[in-house]
Amino acid sequence: MADGPLLAELYFGREDAERDVTDGLLLRGAFLPTAAYRGAVGGRKMLIIGRKGSGKSAICMQVLAEATHPYGKVLITPDETAGDEIRRFDLQGLPGDSARALIWRYVFAVHTARHLVAHAKEEHGRRPGSVKALARFLKQNDELSTGRLGDRLAQGAKGLQTSLSLEAFGVKAGMDLAHSPSEGARALRQLDVVEQGVVRALADLGCDGTHGPLLLMVDQLEQVWSAEPDSNSLVIGLLLAAKHAAGLYARSVRPLLFLRADIYDSLSFGEGDKFHGDELRISWTEQSLRDLALARARASAGADLGEEQLWREVFPESVRGEATASFLFRRCLPRPRDAIQFLNLCQETASLINGRDRITEEDVLQASRQFSAWKLNDLTLEYLVAHPFLKRLFPLFQNTGYRVTRAALTTRFDAAAETLHRLFPAYADALTPAGVVDVLYGVGFLGVRRGNDVVFAGGDDLPVQPHETQFVVHPCFREALGATSAVDLRPYEPSSAGARIVTGALSPAAPGTTAVTRDVQLVRELIRSCHAVLGQAGRAVGLAQDVRNEITDRMERVRDDANGILTDAGSVDVHDHLLTVAHYFAGLAAQLLDSGLDGTAGAEGVGHRIEEESRRLRRLAGGSYGSSGDSAGS
């Protein structure tokens, strides 16, 4: 039997990789090398994709550790300020995805340049002229500081939208780039100058093939993602920029992106099929979670701790007749964060709350109830952006059997439909019985019965098929819902059950994003067009103030009108309204371009931007919708 000190020392680590590294457990043998880790280190994969808590950041932190990759490493984790800068970044003459790819390319180029300036002196003992040019460029554009990414992005965005200081490369931007046909073309030419300067420095140092590549790692994008078109465009731009950088810098620089699966799967853009070979999705089995648990137990309690001792002496051999490890990991979603939380909760329940020197079956069952409540709440928060209505669906399964047929679910949903549609009118198209099944399967709440097996989302499994009629609530959530029996045989409670389902309120005892309605999407795109024109007008420094005021007034009226439509759904025919605004924009652009202001700096750009937004709104009113809205260009 395990003695007291062993249980007291037993610890399975932090739920987040950043603190796990700080505490030291992750680097003391608690990290379990997986296929995703090997793919990241080996250089065969650029995109590491997984659900929240699946271990993306743990891989990132492990790669960042000095012993794992002894070459250059840069970790880029955008905060909200940086995200705002990228979302707002646009260029007249370029679609949104392409514009945001440029700002990411600039970020990669600057980080690579900063690395090379330091690397040349420290590792090569020399600075050829091309490296000195990079140093001068960084100094002239205030890119030598290690300040907040958001502040530096604001500086870089301003430079791309106006003019960077390129004298270090022999280019006087004001003269040499003045005849660029558009704002986007000028930015692209400036960026090409910077990137070619980096390429020359890499060649002069001879780094390609002599040592490992510089890793440009991007993590924590979920901190700046909001499921809106501009946020999708931010991520699409990152993917395009990473693909470009991987080709441009060859073996000397390697982007490595860590993306949440729900974010990546929500994207729709023309070049999406070109990234399949770069993808590696994180997946966990019960056995791999057992291996992780043992590795972390040994890192805290001693390397001589054996599997037999862990699962027979520290933990009880079985719980409710089921092997303890199977009992625990079947009640977790298959990801390390859940397993770590559950294991630690069992240890704390036994040692701290109940004062025992080993974990008993009663301790595991007590922890299981608390863990189930945690996970039901965590699932709501995980998908709060993608599926804000998710919490209101859980009462459909409260105090019932955990097995449910499509017919029974449809009956329950019909009672709740009016409330759900009233509370979430923008998601009415998804809030149908079939839509609810798809959402709940996609987030891992429901499994589908196929033959004698129950399949939960993950890996390459098919989505729910129309002919499939039997579903099962995941064991993780059953205790929190009071759905611990396969079938609910208690007396029918029409009043309480009806009130609970209709109101969507839980009682105290208790891949890819959901699309909003097309009308709401179109109105949001209209508001976005207004902001684009307002931004263009604000940058037109040569535009007379009264002209700018006139344009601003027109755009703000259109925007305010659109905001009014959003708050009074169904008050207008949105399709007709969009076409009316597009026609108005076309006339406004013609007036501005015919006003004789074409020679005034900035005025022509504003006119063309209004013209472009008119064409884009016409396309949206008559075409399909599913990407950021900008991939096709103008």
Q: Which pLDDT does position 501 carry in this prediction?
A: 56
Considering the chain, what is the average pLDDT of its residues? 83
DSSP conformation letters of 238-275 = HHHHHHHHHHHSGGGEEEEEEEEHHHHHT---TTGGGG
Give the residue, 489 or 42, on which the prediction is more confident: 42
- Report helix, strand or coil for 52: coil
Identify any residues that bridge with 323 across adjacent strands, giving them in sequence order.
Answer: 318
pLDDT score of 502 more than 70? no
How much is the average pLDDT of 522-550?
A: 83
- pLDDT tens figures, 411-432: 999 999 999 999 999 999 999 9
- Is residue 269 within 8 Å of residue 231, measured between CB atoms? no
CA distances from 211 to 207, 214, 312 (A): 6, 9, 48
Give the residue, 394 or 573, on which the prediction is more confident: 394
Residue 630 one-letter amino acid: D
Q: Which pLDDT does position 109 carry in this prediction?
A: 93
- Is residue 516 within 8 Å of residue 426, measured between CB atoms? yes
- pLDDT tens figures, 117-129: 888 877 776 788 9
pLDDT band at 569 (very low <50, low <70, confident <90, very high): low
Does the predicted model carry a pTM greater than 0.85?
A: no
pLDDT score of 495 more than 80? no
* 279-281 and 47-50 beta bridge pairing: parallel
- Is residue 145 within 8 Å of residue 152, measured between CB atoms? yes
- For 485, other C-beta atoms within 10 Å of its C-beta total 14
Rounded CA separation 31/594 (Å): 66
Question: In CATH, which of 1.10.10, 3.30.70, 1.10.8, 3.30.1360 is domain 4-16+285-381?
Answer: 1.10.8
How much is the average pLDDT of 251-261?
A: 91
- Helix/strand/coil (H/E/C) assignment for every residue in 433-473: HHHHHHHHHHCCCEEEEECCEEECCCCCCCCCCCCCCEEEE
Q: Which pLDDT does position 3 carry in this prediction?
A: 47
Lowest mean pLDDT among 187-191, 366-370, 549-553: 549-553
Lowest mean pLDDT among 42-51, 390-399, 405-414, 506-515: 506-515
- pLDDT tens figures, 333-362: 999 999 999 999 999 999 999 999 999 999
Rounded CA separation 41/64 (Å): 10
How much is the average pLDDT of 152-169?
A: 82
pLDDT score of 460 more than 80? no
The highest-level CATH class for domain 518-622 is mainly alpha
pLDDT band at 492 (very low <50, low <70, confident <90, very high): very low
Q: Enumerate the domain spans of the chain.
A: 4-16+285-381, 35-281, 385-503, 518-622
- Report helix, strand or coil for 53: coil
Give the residue, 211 or 4, on which the prediction is more confident: 211
Question: What's the token pair of residue 411?
Answer: 């009956």
Helical axes 56-64 vs 35-42, angle rounded to 10°: 40
For the chain, the first-to-last Cα distance in angstroms comes to 72
Give the residue, 606 or 440, on which the prediction is more confident: 440
Q: Which pLDDT does position 18 carry in this prediction?
A: 56
Query: Could you tell me which of 234, 510, 528 has the C-alpha nearest to residue 369?
Result: 510
- Is residue 299 within 8 Å of residue 30, measured between CB atoms? yes
- Alpha helices per DSSP H over 89-217: 96-119, 129-140, 149-161, 173-176, 183-205
pLDDT band at 19 (very low <50, low <70, confident <90, very high): low
Q: Which residues does 282 contact at the CB level (< 8 Å), separation at least 6?
A: 34, 36, 48, 49, 50, 51, 54, 55, 56
Question: What's the token pair of residue 604?
Answer: 């022509």
- Is residue 282 within 8 Å of residue 458, measured between CB atoms? no
- The percent of residues above 70 in pLDDT, for the chain, comes to 84
Give the residue, 634 or 393, on which the prediction is more confident: 393
Biggest distance spanned by C-alpha atoms of the chain: 91
Residue-wise over 151-170: b if at least 16 C-beta within 10 A, else e?
ebbbbbbebbbebbbbebbe
Residue-wise over 64-94: b if at least 16 C-beta within 10 A, else e?
beeebbeebbbbbbbeeebbbbbbbbbbbbb
pLDDT score of 529 more than 60? yes
pLDDT score of 493 more than 50? no
Identify any residues that bridge with 258 across adjacent strands, giving them in sequence order.
Answer: 48
pLDDT score of 2 more than 60? no
Q: Which pLDDT does position 633 carry in this prediction?
A: 42
Query: Could you tell me which of 30, 59, 79, 575 has the C-alpha nearest to residue 281?
Result: 59
How much is the average pLDDT of 386-405?
A: 92
Lowest mean pLDDT among 329-333, 464-468, 499-503: 499-503
Rounded CA separation 309/328 (Å): 17
Is 568 buried (19+), middle (13-18) or exposed (0-12) by CB count in 10 A?
exposed
Q: Which pLDDT does position 414 carry in this prediction?
A: 95
- pLDDT tens figures, 285-329: 899 999 999 988 988 888 788 999 999 999 999 999 999 999 999
How much is the average pLDDT of 276-280?
A: 88
- Is residue 238 within 8 Å of residue 206, measured between CB atoms? no
pLDDT score of 491 more than 50? no
pLDDT score of 436 more than 60? yes
Name the CA radius of gyration of the chain, rounded.
28
Rounded CA separation 14/238 (Å): 29
Rounded CA separation 153/157 (Å): 6
* 253-260 and 47-50 beta bridge pairing: parallel
Rounded CA separation 440/49 (Å): 20
Rounded CA separation 8/301 (Å): 9
pLDDT band at 394 (very low <50, low <70, confident <90, very high): very high
Give the residue, 561 or 239, on which the prediction is more confident: 239
Torsion, Cα 526 528 534 540, to 10 degrees, reads -120
Lowest mean pLDDT among 73-77, 263-267, 281-285, 488-492: 488-492
Q: Which residues does 576 contact at the CB level (< 8 Å), separation at least 6?
A: none
How much is the average pLDDT of 463-485?
A: 92
- pLDDT tens figures, 25-66: 554 556 777 888 888 888 788 999 988 888 888 888 888 876
